[in-house]
Chain A
Amino acid sequence: MTTATLDTLGRLESEAIHIFREVAGEFDRPVILFSGGKDSTLLLHLAIKAFYPAPVPFPLLHVDTGHNFDEVIEFRDRVVAQHGLRLEVAKVQDWIDDGRLQERPDGTRNPLQTVPLLDTITAHKFDAVFGGGRRDEERARAKERIFSLRTAFGQWDPKRQRPELWNLYNGRHRPGEHVRVFPLSNWTELDVWNYIEREGVELPDIYYAHEREVFLRDGMWLAEGPWGTAREGETLVRKTVRYRTVGDGSCTGAVESDAADIHAVIAEVAASRLTERGATRADDRLSEAAMEDRKREGYF
């Protein structure tokens, strides 16, 4: 037996566990967004700890763009099976096939996730939706509450956010509305990696250095996949890379890196002069307010 004193990671863990339990106590149909990426894997790890030794009392939801890395999907399914969880998958492809969505000219499917996400929330009457968003990721996220109310249309209105006082969360909502809950709000990218090391959390291999065929587009190393390959003037080259974030393959870039294990990744993140999203996400480079605009529409 030990007497734990709370260091920064202990405090963050304790806060996240408290948030999971608040939602379990106050909502009828919560769901955890789970893609197999590092933030959602961490989210699930914390949820498991929050309800130990009982099983996690929520299902998982993945909005699948179809533009995935095989390693990540394999990892996702393995984790789900290992913990005996229920996973709901909303496939963007289904929405495209029946005409509810149209493929974009640039081929990226990141912005297309919003409609399947909202449709699934409505169909299942989910009232609390856990996301892995962190305030250090982006300026608009830095403004969001831990309990973030969404209208019946899934919209976020940053000017009408509720005050969030002490650690008392107000999750009340009207029928049709739901609350997005962000237990990792106060974590930084470095906190996430330090915690992953401390807890020995397993992640998909693509977060660690490996060799891959990539091509350079808009200053980012993209891999080829179902979303397409190098165009005229772009050449595929073999490089040692890793991913700092994992999203739609068409707009998630790899970074050149030799960091093959968790210690090397932590050293690299601590020394990095680029933010996680700035280094790897084309979707956030579109405009000064790209993230805010997507969030207003109901994005994660």
Chain B
Amino acid sequence: MSDLLRLATAGSVDDGKSTLVGRLLYDTKSVLADTLDAVHRASADRGLATPDLSLLVDGLRSEREQGITIDVAYRYFATPKRSFVLADTPGHVQYTRNTVTGASTAQLAVLLVDARKGVIEQTRRHAAVLALLGVPRLVLAVNKIDLVDYDEVTFSRIAKEFTAHATALGYTEDAVVEIPVSALAGDNVVEKSANTPWYSGPTLLEHLETVPVEPDPHDAPFRFPVQYVIRPRTAEHLDYRGYAGLVAAGTVKPGDEIVVLPSGRRSTVTKIDTADGELAEAAAGQSVTLLLADDIDISRGDLISVAGNEPKVTDELDATLCWLAEKPLRAGARVLVKHGTRTVQAMVTELRDRFDEQRLSSVDSPATLELNEIGRVALRLAEEVPLDDYSFSRRTGSFLVIDASDGSTLAAGLVGAPLPLLENGVESCTEGGENAAPDTHALVSPGP
């Protein structure tokens, strides 16, 4: 079992995300005495009878003043079973970009709802964003269950409604787990609650400790964006020329035939080097340096791929964007696209459709894509670039859209249409025609 789980919270403002994270940290004894003292003092200063556990994560002055989360907080905690990297994200619609930040690398998301309100607009929006970004597993935490008298019927109704929505987004039933909790009182967070005798499932922590984490598939074709060329030019290493990078997908061994993209030049890996010595094999996630048999022109921005199973090299990009900027996107916009280690100029040639995450349908040819909207676009790139679908790999199928004038990040980009819905919406009013790639579903809820 993996020893690390990366997770993110999601859900509307005031649903209790920060309190839940505080509760998890508190009940797993991950909060050290001086930090706890500070929270006790701050809570007393605010006239509260019990410590406000959200103060453990809402670390900015304006967050504490307003009692809300504005930006992602990263927290680290461990139990004897696992280590956790937790991103607590804000709930306000205007801060959705920070939710996207927290979710882009998450292996699981805890989506909260307020038991009194049930599934609301923001729940549906966040579920769609999580599905789009390929977060493989969800927990629906039906929070504030204390405020509905620990009522089973309320819980079941919300769980059922959410499951239907998640299924429509492509999640299989075993990828979604619903848990009734009270972040404030601690019910079913770490300790099983006596107030919910009708609930026989795991507590939140039990689930987090045992949920399967999908490893990087070892049989995926090898992908290696070149970050930097290492040329020591010292007497000892006069002819050394190594290509430094992080394996984005698959594995590599000395002797493997590779192709450099976009140039298409071929060679053979002679050595996988690290400061700790040579490796017999390197796998996804590892930072290494590759040495090749032939002296060919390779520089930062190139992609080294296994020969025979290469990504398509193209200057036309069909992608899904999660628009994160205040100023709306219009067709004709000139932007920069950062994909892997390469940044190229690009033009948005067409806004194909906008995803309506409330009705799970899409709207054809919108005039704009506004802040926090998701849509499919066509981009023309100034150079040819090797592209994998996002459904193949979160690492090689993702890109940033950047404003060339001020450098800000405008959008999260995903190659292809990772949400099957965007291709085949339930009430879709798109042109239809193209079918969702058969493996897109596999990304959202991968098998064991």
Q: Are B32 and A272 in contact (CB under 8 A)?
A: yes
Any B CB within 8 A of the CB of A82: no
Any B CB within 8 A of the CB of A275: yes
Q: Are A168 and B398 in contact (CB under 8 A)?
A: yes
Q: Are B101 and A163 in contact (CB under 8 A)?
A: yes
Across-interface contacts of A3 in B (CB, < 8 A): 279-281
Measured between C-beta atoms, what is the minimum distance from B1 to chain A in Å?
13
Q: Choose one: A135, A170, A292; the contact of B400 (CB below 8 Å).
A: A170
Across-interface contacts of B101 in A (CB, < 8 A): 163-165
Measured between C-beta atoms, what is the minimum distance from B35 to chain A in Å?
6
Q: Are B227 and A51 in contact (CB under 8 A)?
A: no
The stretch from A52-60, A104-112, A206-214, A227-235 touching chain B is: A52-60
Within 8 A of A (CB), among B205-246: 227-228, 230-234, 236-237, 240, 244-246
Q: Are A14 and B246 in contact (CB under 8 A)?
A: yes
> Nearest residue in B to A171 (C-beta to C-beta)?
B407
Inter-chain CA distance A141–B76, complex, in Å, is 13
Q: Are B285 and A11 in contact (CB under 8 A)?
A: yes
Q: Are B74 and A135 in contact (CB under 8 A)?
A: yes
Any A CB within 8 A of the CB of B324: yes
Q: Are A167 and B57 in contact (CB under 8 A)?
A: no
Q: Are B100 and A55 in contact (CB under 8 A)?
A: no
Across-interface contacts of A5 in B (CB, < 8 A): 283
Any A CB within 8 A of the CB of B438: no
Any A CB within 8 A of the CB of B349: no
Give how many A residues have a beta carbon under 8 Å from the other chain's beta carbons: 62
Known: A14-B286, A142-B59, A163-B101. A278 touches B32 (CB 8 A): yes
Q: Are B83 and A158 in contact (CB under 8 A)?
A: no
Within 8 A of A (CB), among B394-448: 394-395, 398-400, 402, 406-409, 412
Inter-chain CA distance A27–B313, complex, in Å, is 27
Q: Are A166 and B286 in contact (CB under 8 A)?
A: no
Any A CB within 8 A of the CB of B64: yes
The stretch from A17-25, A32-40, A66-74, A244-252 touching chain B is: A17-25
Any A CB within 8 A of the CB of B153: no
Across-interface contacts of B147 in A (CB, < 8 A): none
Any B CB within 8 A of the CB of A159: yes
Within 8 A of B (CB), among A254-300: 272-275, 278-279, 288-289, 292-293
Any A CB within 8 A of the CB of B368: no
Any A CB within 8 A of the CB of B308: no
Across-interface contacts of A288 in B (CB, < 8 A): 38, 42, 61, 64
Across-interface contacts of A1 in B (CB, < 8 A): 277-280
Q: Choose one: A52, A162, A163, A273; the contact of B275 (CB below 8 Å).
A: A52
Inter-chain CA distance A50–B100, complex, in Å, is 29
Q: Are A14 and B105 in contact (CB under 8 A)?
A: no
Inter-chain CA distance A162–B233, complex, in Å, is 37
Any A CB within 8 A of the CB of B274: yes
Any A CB within 8 A of the CB of B33: yes
Q: Choose one: B58, B98, B228, B276; the contact of A163 (CB below 8 Å).
A: B98
Across-interface contacts of A48 in B (CB, < 8 A): 275
Across-interface contacts of B336 in A (CB, < 8 A): 172
Q: Are A22 and B227 in contact (CB under 8 A)?
A: yes
Known: A21-B244, A164-B101. A172 touches B34 (CB 8 A): no
Q: Choose one: A135, A158, A273; the contact of B70 (CB below 8 Å).
A: A158
Inter-chain CA distance A143–B289, complex, in Å, is 32
Q: Are B285 and A6 in contact (CB under 8 A)?
A: yes
Across-interface contacts of B341 in A (CB, < 8 A): 22, 25
Across-interface contacts of A138 in B (CB, < 8 A): 59
> Nearest residue in B to A22 (C-beta to C-beta)?
B227
Any A CB within 8 A of the CB of B97: yes
Any A CB within 8 A of the CB of B184: no
Measured between C-beta atoms, what is the minimum distance from B437 to chain A in Å?
20
Inter-chain CA distance A138–B407, complex, in Å, is 28
Measured between C-beta atoms, what is the minimum distance from A164 to chain B in Å?
5
Q: Are A135 and B398 in contact (CB under 8 A)?
A: no
Inter-chain CA distance A139–B88, complex, in Å, is 12
Q: Are B72 and A21 in contact (CB under 8 A)?
A: no
Q: Are A142 and B406 in contact (CB under 8 A)?
A: no
Q: Are A168 and B227 in contact (CB under 8 A)?
A: no
Q: Are B395 and A170 in contact (CB under 8 A)?
A: no
Any A CB within 8 A of the CB of B330: no
> Nearest residue in A to B72 (C-beta to C-beta)?
A143
Any A CB within 8 A of the CB of B300: yes
Q: Choose one: A18, A166, A275; the contact of B398 (CB below 8 Å).
A: A166
> Nearest residue in B to A18 (C-beta to C-beta)?
B246
Q: Are A4 and B227 in contact (CB under 8 A)?
A: no
Measured between C-beta atoms, what is the minimum distance from A130 to chain B in Å?
15
Inter-chain CA distance A273–B35, complex, in Å, is 10
Query: Which A residues have a C-beta under 8 Å from some C-beta of B?
Result: 1-8, 10-11, 13-15, 17-18, 21-22, 24-25, 48-55, 135-136, 138-143, 158-159, 161-168, 170, 172-174, 185-186, 188, 272-275, 278-279, 288-289, 292-293
26 intermolecular pairs with C-beta atoms under 8 Å apart: A1-B277, A1-B279, A2-B277, A2-B279, A6-B286, A7-B3, A8-B3, A24-B227, A25-B300, A53-B240, A55-B232, A136-B75, A139-B73, A143-B71, A159-B62, A163-B97, A163-B101, A168-B338, A168-B400, A170-B338, A170-B400, A188-B76, A274-B33, A274-B34, A288-B61, A293-B61
Name 7 extra pairs, CB < 8 A, besides A52-B230, A275-B32. A53-B236, A162-B409, A165-B104, A168-B400, A188-B76, A274-B33, A288-B42
Query: Which B residues have a C-beta under 8 Å from some C-beta of A?
Result: 3-4, 32-35, 38, 42, 56-62, 64, 70-76, 83, 85, 97-98, 100-101, 104-105, 227-228, 230-234, 236-237, 240, 244-246, 273-283, 285-287, 289, 300, 324, 336, 338, 341, 394-395, 398-400, 402, 406-409, 412
